[in-house]
Chain A
Amino acid sequence: MTALAPTRVGALARGPRPRLKPTTAFAFIGLLAAVALVLLPIASIVFTAFKPTGEVNAFPPTLLPEQWTFANVERITTELPFARLILNSVIFAGGVTAFALVFDSLAAYALARIDFRGRTVLLIVIIASLMIPFQATLIPVYQVVADLGWVNTYAGLIAPRAADAFGIFFLRQFFLALPRDIDNAARIDGASEFRIFRSIVIPNAIPALMTLGIFTFVNNWNDLLWPLVFTTQREMGTLTSGLTLLTGPGGIIPYGVMMAGSLIAILPLLVAFLIVQRTFIESIATTGVKG
């Protein structure tokens, strides 16, 4: 469980930094080149989104636009029910995240802190179910949602992901590592388990909840398969699934417009990520690996 202690990957420096050696300088330059290559597709999305069509189709191609234009951004909003798709993405990813955080943390609390019969068995079942790929249950999940009469509704889109084995396991690991002196004291004072959960454990688990929340939000915002198979009406799709309609058969569309749509799809995540990146990366690094 030491994995959950704040092993600070961010505090990378190990002792004082000696003078730069030639090999390190070489590595530094190599890494800079690697960063440039890695960020090239993102740079190309950003710059192409603001390129006039003539420049996008010009040869030889360039990375930067000579003339900047908003025409692509304007066009993408007319190609798709764009505002609606953004709203759907927010409701889907936000709804899944909200439900999953509540349900997962409740279950994780019981698994970490309540000594109930069958706990080990249940934990093993949950860990085993981590191995079930969503794709393997796609068809019957769709049928369950259809039987509930939830096709093309937000409820149907969100419900199958309202709890998640990974989230439960992740939070359980975090809750185990929290000190229990205070909740034992509270228990002796007669506090209910729910009270301890709400007033002691949850406030101390904010970093883990934030990480899981961002992870869940990003995964669902970016998910293609489920919104694709689930929504038969264009108006119920998400931004990610809606964008793919443009590339499909008959969906020939200028690259500039495509990239404008892509930019809008990744921008909220990029901004959010850059704000919380340090905490986020550290907790992925320290919670994902060892249990």
Chain B
Amino acid sequence: MTSLTGSRPTYRPPAPLGGRPRRRSAQDKRDRTALLFLAPALIVLGVFVAWPMVSALRLSFTDASGFGVENWVGFDNYARIFADADILSALFNTVWYLVLFTPPAVAVALGLALAVNNPRLPFRSFFRTAFFVPFIVSLAVSAFAWGYLLDPNVGLLNYWLSSIGIRIGNPLQDPNLAMPVVALVAVWKSFGFYFVIFLAGLQDVPASLYEAARVDGAGPWARFRNVTLPMLSNTLAFVMIFAMIAALQAFDQIYVMTGGGPFGSTQTIVMEIYESGFRRLELGFASALSYVLLAATLLLSIVQFVFFGRRERDLT
């Protein structure tokens, strides 16, 4: 990750004989050219990312509602987030969703990648493609499909489960099961992406390390623990960050399947942002919530980078 901003030396024209002043003007020319190349993207990112960030921060200290006067309310919106039981429960639910989503998604992806990475396995390309397919299905459509499969009356999966003695009733109406189900839908949709990234990471583990481990008498678990896992730590960091950040943003399938219910048990931060910002028009409060989401996202990224960055340095 340290090479993220590193770059190869770029071409510099040989210094002309004129000396300093002309070199400076060549630099000025490059700066102007670069600006022209950058301008369209910077305008878009400035107007639709940077400015909204500032604007949301300002809004989060007001009682803006889209109409009438906006009053400065200081930290009231932030205080309300941590005082309102519904909002606290949405924060808790988001963390619960993250826990239900991230480890299974990462574990399934890693397990399947290890299995498909076996060079003796026939039809490896087929497996790789098949496991990736759900990734291109939208979460909304995934939610329709899973909602149907788990329907208590006509759902195929619900019927199959009950015929082997597992009765789940109507899981989307069950406050204990609704969240695991919406997390399952996201695991199904996303694991293929992580799987492909793990598969690529595994290609970069030198075969000689496995041979050396085998010569030393390491069994499959020891090889996984002492060779694969350390060599994959960077990839693992990337995938975990990706998965956790995706988890913080849970919305689509929840909106489709449960609308946040039953009894608010699947209400998440982004559902709250949507409802407070676009249904109840509490723009100030919704902006404060947005900043909580942003802070959580940044925190996760930083923790992960620091933790896995150190692991990698230890190894090399």
Chain B contact residues, majority secondary structure? helix
CB < 8 Å: which of B10, B48, B270 contacts A141?
B48
- Asked if B76 lies at the interface with its beta carbon under 8 angstroms from chain A, I say no
CB < 8 Å: which of B5, B238, B283 contacts A289?
B238
A9 near B203 with CB under 8 A, answer yes
B127 near A61 with CB under 8 A, answer no
CB < 8 Å: which of A117, A138, A163, A269 contacts B273?
A138
B44 near A103 with CB under 8 A, answer yes
Given contacts A135-B249, A285-B196, contact A140 B3 (CB under 8 A): no
A20 near B120 with CB under 8 A, answer yes
- Asked if B90 lies at the interface with its beta carbon under 8 angstroms from chain A, I say no
A107 near B245 with CB under 8 A, answer no
Closest residue of B by beta carbon distance from A19: B120
B131 near A35 with CB under 8 A, answer yes
A45 near B141 with CB under 8 A, answer yes
Residues on A with C-beta less than 8 A from B149 are: 40-41, 44
Interface residues in B, total, Cβ within 8 A:
109
Residues on A with C-beta less than 8 A from B238 are: 288-289
The complex places the Cα of A146 from the Cα of B128 at a distance, in Å, of 44
Given contacts A139-B290, A247-B256, A284-B193, contact A277 B129 (CB under 8 A): yes
Residues on B with C-beta less than 8 A from A235 are: none
A31 to chain B, nearest CB (A): 6
B124 near A104 with CB under 8 A, answer no
Residues on A with C-beta less than 8 A from B145 are: 41-42, 44-45, 259, 262
- Asked if B12 lies at the interface with its beta carbon under 8 angstroms from chain A, I say yes
B200 to chain A, nearest CB (A): 3
A41 near B188 with CB under 8 A, answer yes
Interface digits, A6-48 against B, CB 8 Å rule (1 contact, 0 not)?
A: 0101101111011011001001101100110011111011001
Interface digits, A175-199 against B, CB 8 Å rule (1 contact, 0 not)?
A: 0100010011001000001100100
- Asked if A109 lies at the interface with its beta carbon under 8 angstroms from chain B, I say yes
Interface digits, A109-149 against B, CB 8 Å rule (1 contact, 0 not)?
A: 11111111101101110110101110111111111100000
A42 near B133 with CB under 8 A, answer yes
B30 near A240 with CB under 8 A, answer no
A224 near B138 with CB under 8 A, answer yes
- Asked if A236 lies at the interface with its beta carbon under 8 angstroms from chain B, I say no
Given contacts A107-B37, A218-B136, contact A139 B59 (CB under 8 A): yes
Given contacts A109-B37, A266-B137, contact A184 B11 (CB under 8 A): yes
The complex places the Cα of A9 from the Cα of B278 at a distance, in Å, of 44
B154 near A61 with CB under 8 A, answer yes
Closest residue of A by beta carbon distance from B201: A289
Closest residue of A by beta carbon distance from B242: A288
Closest residue of A by beta carbon distance from B137: A266
Task: Please tell me which stretch of B78-86, B211-219, B222-230, B292-300 contacts chain A, meaning at least 4 of its Cβ atoms lie within 8 angstroms of it.
Answer: B292-300
The complex places the Cα of A119 from the Cα of B27 at a distance, in Å, of 12
Tell me the residues in window 33-72 of chain B with beta carbons closer than 8 Å to chain A beta carbons.
33-35, 37-38, 40-42, 44-45, 47-53, 55-56, 59
- Asked if A208 lies at the interface with its beta carbon under 8 angstroms from chain B, I say no
A106 near B41 with CB under 8 A, answer yes
B139 near A222 with CB under 8 A, answer yes
Task: Please tell me which stretch of B96-104, B111-119, B174-182 contacts chain A, meaning at least 4 of its Cβ atoms lie within 8 angstroms of it.
Answer: B111-119
B180 to chain A, nearest CB (A): 16
Tell me the residues in window 233-284 of chain A with beta carbons closer than 8 Å to chain B beta carbons.
240-241, 243-244, 247, 255, 258-259, 262, 265-266, 269-270, 273-274, 277-278, 281, 284
Tell me the residues in window 258-288 of chain B with beta carbons closer than 8 Å to chain A beta carbons.
270, 273-274, 277-278, 283, 286-287
Tell me the residues in window 20-34 of chain B with beta carbons closer than 8 Å to chain A beta carbons.
27, 30-31, 33-34
The complex places the Cα of A110 from the Cα of B42 at a distance, in Å, of 12
Q: Given A7-B203, A162-B44, list of 6 further CB < 8 A pairs?
A: A61-B154, A103-B44, A112-B7, A136-B293, A136-B297, A139-B290
What are 14 of the A-B contact pairs (CB < 8 Å)? A12-B125, A18-B120, A38-B134, A39-B130, A45-B144, A61-B159, A129-B50, A135-B249, A135-B293, A140-B55, A163-B45, A244-B256, A259-B148, A286-B200
5 smallest beta-carbon distances between A and B, as pairs:
A222-B138, A285-B200, A116-B34, A140-B52, A110-B37
